[in-house]
């Protein structure tokens, strides 16, 4: 089995996955409550919390799988991109566990991990396909040609889609993380109530900063009472604009590359409006959309392991 470890942002996660892609256990300790009062992730607070949680979370993943380290034949860990201090905690823990058992270590790219959330049992997707990866840090359109080959077709020029959700939620006075809050509130609102602009860029890139400004102006013009009354309409219209941008571009990218299948991964792939707007797309299972370690162990199946003890020199990277 592969032991996966993920600490790139504010989730401390460990999972056990077989070579066939069966999840034996997946433990995710979210730090969201810890960061909520700051309205976003505080990197140093995240690092310190990872340090406290990483070993208990690994122990729990082993226990849930009814396994011990003797059942593990390699350790997979997120090497980047992400918060550098947070990544270093996971990488150091992975090195220590691997070294203590003389196991190989597999450094995994977090974004490859999100794509590999589609390769897990019981319903794995086989490449090729067009993949929309939308998370708190990234918005990418990828032509996935095989398990190891991909081409970047488009990305965001400013905010990531999840970041747009989080910043919008903050403007609306909702909690952190904002995507899920907007998703929930939008169910009671009218997506046609406000006509928020969707940036029309040439090519397959995205831009969400204008949309955020439009929401800021709409909120600023309302009294506190009116904001209370219109909050659900604002959330629904704002969400609708983000989803429209994602869906338009994903369909355009599929047409351009001739890919018949579209897949969606990353935290924003949990959005109910997005999932409904792409009924024919393959969406990652809900539990595997937001950060987890099963997807990291899954991706490790196509990465060359670094033998003992050479990986002790590995470093983390903050951006791709």
Residue 180 binding ligand KG4, by CB under 6 A: yes
Q: Which residues, 6+ apart, have CB-to-CB distance to 91 below 8 Å?
A: 77, 78, 79, 107, 314, 315, 316
Binding residue for Zn ion (CB under 5 A) from 291, 296, 301, 303? 291
- Shortest separation between residue 137's beta carbon and Zn ion, angstroms: 7
Find out whether the peptide bond into 156 is cis, omega within 30 degrees of 0: no
Angle at alpha carbon of residue 264, lines to 244 and 262, rounded to 5°? 85
- Shortest separation between residue 295's beta carbon and ligand KG4, angstroms: 9
Instruction: Between 1 and 132, name the residue whose CB sits nearer to ligand KG4.
Output: 132
Out of Zn ion, ligand KG4, none, which partner does residue 183 contact, by CB within 5 to 8 A per kind?
ligand KG4
Integer-rounded Cα Rg, in Å, for the chain is 20
Instruction: Between 103 and 141, name the residue whose CB sits nearer to ligand KG4.
Output: 141
Instruction: Between 110 and 230, name the residue whose CB sits nearer to ligand KG4.
Output: 110
- Shortest separation between residue 8's beta carbon and ligand KG4, angstroms: 7
Out of ligand KG4, Zn ion, none, which partner does residue 117 contact, by CB within 5 to 8 A per kind?
none
Interaction with ligand KG4 in 242-301: which residues (CB under 6 A)?
266-268, 270-271, 290-291
Instruction: Between 262 and 284, name the residue whose CB sits nearer to ligand KG4.
Output: 284
Interaction with Zn ion in 97-136: which residues (CB under 5 A)?
135
Instruction: Between 219 and 284, name the residue whose CB sits nearer to Zn ion.
Output: 284
Helix axes 209-220, 224-257, angle to 10 degrees: 160
Interaction with ligand KG4 in 149-168: which residues (CB under 6 A)?
162, 165-166
Residue 181 binding Zn ion, by CB under 5 A: no
- Do 39 and 176 contact (CB within 8 A), yes or no? yes
- Do 217 and 194 contact (CB within 8 A), yes or no? no
- Shortest separation between residue 102's beta carbon and ligand KG4, angstroms: 32
Residue 183 binding ligand KG4, by CB under 6 A: yes
Interaction with ligand KG4 in 121-150: which residues (CB under 6 A)?
135-137
- Shortest separation between residue 66's beta carbon and ligand KG4, angstroms: 27
Instruction: Between 87 and 278, name the residue whose CB sits nearer to Zn ion.
Output: 87
In Å, how far from its chain's centre is CA 310? 29
| Binding residues vs ligand KG4 (CB under 6 A) | 9, 135-137, 162, 165-166, 177-180, 183, 266-268, 270-271, 290-291
| Binding residues vs Zn ion (CB under 5 A) | 135, 291
């Amino acid at each position: 089995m592969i032991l996966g470890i993920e600490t790139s942002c504010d989730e401390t996660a460990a999972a056990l996955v077989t070579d066939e892609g069966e999840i034996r256990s997946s433990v995710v300790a979210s730090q969201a409550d810890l960061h909520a009062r700051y309205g976003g992730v505080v990197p140093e607070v995240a690092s310190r919390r990872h340090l406290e949680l990483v070993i208990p979370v690994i122990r729990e993943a082993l226990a849930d799988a009814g396994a011990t380290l003797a059942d593990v034949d390699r350790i997979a860990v997120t090497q980047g991109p992400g918060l550098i201090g947070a990544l270093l905690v996971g990488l150091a823990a992975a090195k220590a566990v691997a070294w203590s058992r003389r196991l190989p270590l597999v450094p995994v790219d977090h974004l490859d991990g999100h794509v590999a959330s589609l390769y897990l049992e019981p319903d794995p997707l086989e490449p090729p396909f067009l993949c929309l990866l939308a998370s708190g840090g990234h918005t990418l359109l990828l032509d996935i040609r095989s398990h190891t080959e991909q081409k970047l077709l488009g990305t965001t020029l400013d905010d990531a889609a999840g970041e747009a959700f989080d910043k919008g939620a903050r403007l609306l006075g909702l909690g952190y993380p904002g995507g899920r809050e907007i998703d929930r509130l939008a169910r009671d609102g009218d997506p046609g109530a406000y006509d928020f602009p969707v940036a029309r860029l040439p090519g397959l890139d995205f831009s969400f900063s204008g949309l955020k400004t439009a929401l800021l102006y709409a909120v600023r013009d309302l009294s506190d009472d009116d904001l209370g009354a219109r909050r659900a309409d604002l959330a629904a219209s704002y969400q609708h604009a983000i989803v429209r941008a994602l869906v338009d571009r994903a369909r355009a990218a599929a047409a351009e590359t001739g890919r018949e299948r579209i897949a969606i991964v990353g935290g924003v792939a949990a959005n109910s409006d997005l999932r409904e707007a792409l009924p024919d797309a393959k969406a990652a299972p809900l539990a595997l959309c937001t950060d987890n370690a099963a997807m990291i162990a899954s991706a490790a199946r196509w990465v060359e392991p670094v033998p003992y003890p050479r990986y002790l020199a590995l470093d983390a990277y903050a951006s791709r």
